[in-house]
């Protein structure tokens, strides 16, 4: 059954002769134009096509062109970044300028997505001056070592990961990069063997293509880069996506289905179903909504995740029992909403604060002095089971009031902090909105993509 499905998938995702011919022509035109700009500006750069196109592991009708401008290592980062952006602005449409270790530019050339990236020309990873410098080495390594039949295995693996929502090392996904897919196929030989091994993976799984030992990495999966032994290729993979992938492999082996590769789209629930499902939980949901910062996703998602952690931890510190903190980005409305799931009842008006053991007299005296004239003190220090305690008045007993007054004082991320004037608290009854139907459906139905 699995082999039949995989054959069908490959027929859909493998580039046809006409696709290859069209791509070849586009690359020829693109390189000519870029080379022309290089000559005009007299910069010491050369062109390298990298990524899945160069390695012939791309999927039909689903490809980006990664074009690197490689410079001598003595050239300044500032100059090569500036000149790459200038060339990109001239030849690409709908451009987006991005800033990592080097600035780079994204845009379109004849309806193809292009990424124009500056890097240094190096012969080995030991010469690298930034992370992107390794990318041409990755391309050369895969072209040299990946067998022709294994290119199809990579395509199959990539489509599987896309279907289950685990493809891409970018901050939005936190999944498997294209290069990680390729070296995993090199490791196990085929898609089938890979998923059979993957179901046995444990947190902290260590993989490599050689036996040169493993540097220490605190990540769910470690795969040592064959061109740079100090790097973990799987560093972007989150624990959530690691677990989802293992679950998907196990369920696919048990019951193969085309839905793992091409899942059904989400069918948004009606508002009434969302409201009924939420209210049966006997939980309280409350939102913090603000304007979306005008930054690229690679910078936006880490900041939002930082914000969710900060809100969660601060709520807990003030005594609120938090069950979940989730978020939704609306690119149409340019809004971000962070939703806190908590207990529906207000906190008690007072709480007991624990002090040191009574035998530690010095610390007990300090504890008593600290609280004796505090306006929040409700009950004087007292001893119980060998420790000292005080009873204090809570500053907040309802989470709405807490979020309204405290969220704006938290460090939520450089760009999010600049949007604090737009912050507003959204009560549960106002969260049942048309623009949040897909968000609620995905969260409440609890189904994996292949189960829909």
pLDDT digits (tens, 9 = 90+) for 83-99: 999 999 999 999 998 88
Average pLDDT over residues 154-166: 98
Residue 304: its pLDDT value, please? 96
CATH of the domain at 135: 3.30.460.10
| 54 and 139 together in one domain | yes
Asked whether residue 246 carries a pLDDT value surpassing 90, the answer given is yes
Helix axes 148-164, 178-188, angle to 10 degrees: 120
Determine, yes or no, domain membership for 190: yes
Domain count, the chain: 4
Average pLDDT over residues 303-327: 95
| 304 and 335 together in one domain | yes
pLDDT tens digits along 105-135: 999 998 899 999 999 998 888 888 788 899 9
Residue 130: its pLDDT value, please? 80
| Backbone angle region of 148, left / alpha / beta, with phi > 0 → left and psi within -120 to 50 → alpha | alpha
Average pLDDT over residues 413-442: 95
| 282 and 428 together in one domain | yes
Where do we find the tokens 């020309």? 121
| 405 and 374 together in one domain | no
Residue 164 belongs to domain spanning: 146-260
Residue 191: its pLDDT value, please? 98
Determine, yes or no, domain membership for 416: yes
| 170 and 208 together in one domain | yes
Determine, yes or no, domain membership for 158: yes
Residue 389: its pLDDT value, please? 93
Contact 208, 234 (CB under 8 A): no
Determine, yes or no, domain membership for 281: yes
| 341 and 356 together in one domain | no
399 φ, ψ to 5°? -70, -30
Residue ending a domain, among 143, 161, 192, is 143
Residue 126: its pLDDT value, please? 80
| 295 and 428 together in one domain | yes
Average pLDDT over the chain reads: 93
Determine, yes or no, domain membership for 265: no
Residue 77: its pLDDT value, please? 87
CATH of the domain at 200: 1.10.1410.30
Q: HSE of 432 in the Cβ direction (CA atoms, 13 Å)?
A: 14
Q: 390: pLDDT confidence band, cut at 50, 70 and 90?
A: very high
CATH of the domain at 322: 3.30.70.590
Asked whether residue 283 carries a pLDDT value surpassing 80, the answer given is yes
Higher per-residue confidence, 297 vs 338: 338
Residue 129: its pLDDT value, please? 78
Average pLDDT over residues 2-10: 95
| 339 and 422 together in one domain | yes
Residue 127: its pLDDT value, please? 85
Residue ending a domain, among 124, 143, 162, is 143
| 53 and 196 together in one domain | no
pTM greater than the 0.85 cutoff: yes
CATH of the domain at 359: 3.30.70
3-state secondary structure (DSSP) of residue 32: helix
Average pLDDT over residues 190-217: 92
Separation of alpha carbons 250 and 200, rounded Å: 9
Contact 227, 123 (CB under 8 A): no
Residue 330: its pLDDT value, please? 93
Determine, yes or no, domain membership for 247: yes
**Secondary structure in 3-state letters for 186-234:** HHHCCHHHHHHHHCCCCCCEEECCCCCCCCCCCCCEEEEECCEEEEECC
| 289 and 183 together in one domain | no
Residue 340: its pLDDT value, please? 97
Average pLDDT over residues 202-215: 87
Determine, yes or no, domain membership for 6: no
| 334 and 425 together in one domain | yes
Sign, CA torsion 377/381/382/387: positive
Residue ending a domain, among 203, 235, 260, is 260
| 331 and 377 together in one domain | no
pLDDT tens digits along 325-350: 999 999 889 999 999 999 999 999 99
Q: 210: pLDDT confidence band, cut at 50, 70 and 90?
A: confident
Asked whether residue 183 carries a pLDDT value surpassing 90, the answer given is yes
Separation of alpha carbons 219 and 217, rounded Å: 6
Higher per-residue confidence, 408 vs 308: 308
What's the Cα-to-Cα distance from 231 to each of 166, 215, 434, rounded to whole Å? 21, 8, 44
pLDDT tens digits along 30-84: 999 999 999 998 899 999 999 999 999 999 988 889 999 999 989 988 899 999 9
């Amino acid at each position: 059954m699995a082999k039949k499905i995989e054959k069908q998938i490959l027929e859909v995702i493998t580039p046809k002769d006409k696709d290859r011919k069209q791509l070849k022509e586009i690359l020829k035109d693109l390189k000519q134009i870029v080379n022309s700009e290089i000559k005009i500006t007299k910069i010491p750069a050369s062109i390298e096509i990298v990524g899945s196109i160069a390695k012939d592991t791309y999927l039909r009708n689903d490809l980006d062109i990664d074009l690197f401008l490689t410079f001598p290592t003595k050239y300044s980062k500032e100059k090569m970044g500036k000149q790459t952006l200038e060339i990109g602005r001239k030849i690409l449409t709908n451009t987006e300028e991005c800033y990592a270790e080097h600035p780079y530019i994204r845009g379109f050339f004849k309806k193809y997505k292009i990424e124009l990236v500056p890097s240094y020309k190096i012969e080995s990873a030991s010469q690298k001056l930034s992370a992107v410098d390794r990318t041409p080495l990755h391309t050369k390594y895969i072209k040299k070592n990946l067998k022709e039949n294994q290119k199809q295995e990579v395509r199959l693996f990539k489509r599987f990961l896309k279907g289950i929502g685990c493809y891409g090392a970018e901050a939005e996904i936190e999944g498997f990069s294209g290069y990680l897919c390729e070296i995993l196929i090199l490791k196990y030989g085929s898609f089938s063997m890979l998923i059979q091994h993957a179901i046995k993976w444990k947190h902290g799984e260590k993989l490599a293509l050689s036996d040169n030992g493993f540097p220490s990495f605190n990540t769910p999966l470690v795969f040592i880069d064959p061109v740079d032994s100090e790097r973990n290729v799987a560093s972007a993979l989150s624990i959530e996506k690691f677990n989802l992938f293992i679950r998907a492999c196990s369920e696919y082996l048990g019951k193969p289905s085309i839905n793992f590769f091409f899942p059904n789209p989400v069918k948004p629930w009606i508002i009434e179903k969302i409201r009924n499902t939420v209210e049966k939980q006997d939980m309280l949901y409350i939102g913090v909504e603000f304007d979306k910062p005008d930054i690229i996703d690679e910078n936006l998602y880490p900041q939002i995740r930082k914000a969710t952690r900060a809100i969660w931890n601060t709520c807990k510190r003030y005594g609120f029992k938090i069950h979940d903190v989730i978020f939704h980005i609306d690119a149409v409305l340019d809004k971000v909403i962070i939703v806190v799931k908590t207990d529906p009842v207000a906190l008690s008006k007072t709480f007991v604060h624990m002090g040191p053991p009574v035998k530690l007299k010095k610390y007990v005296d300090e504890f008593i002095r600290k609280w004796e004239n505090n306006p929040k003190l409700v009950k004087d220090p007292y001893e119980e089971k060998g420790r000292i305690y005080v009873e204090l008045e809570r500053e907040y007993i309802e989470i709405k009031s807490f979020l309204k007054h405290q969220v704006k004082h938290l460090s939520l991320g450089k760009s999010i902090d600049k949007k604090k004037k737009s912050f507003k608290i959204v009560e549960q009854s106002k969260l049942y909105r048309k623009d949040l139907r897909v968000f609620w459906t995905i969260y409440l139905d609890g189904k994996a993509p292949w189960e829909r």
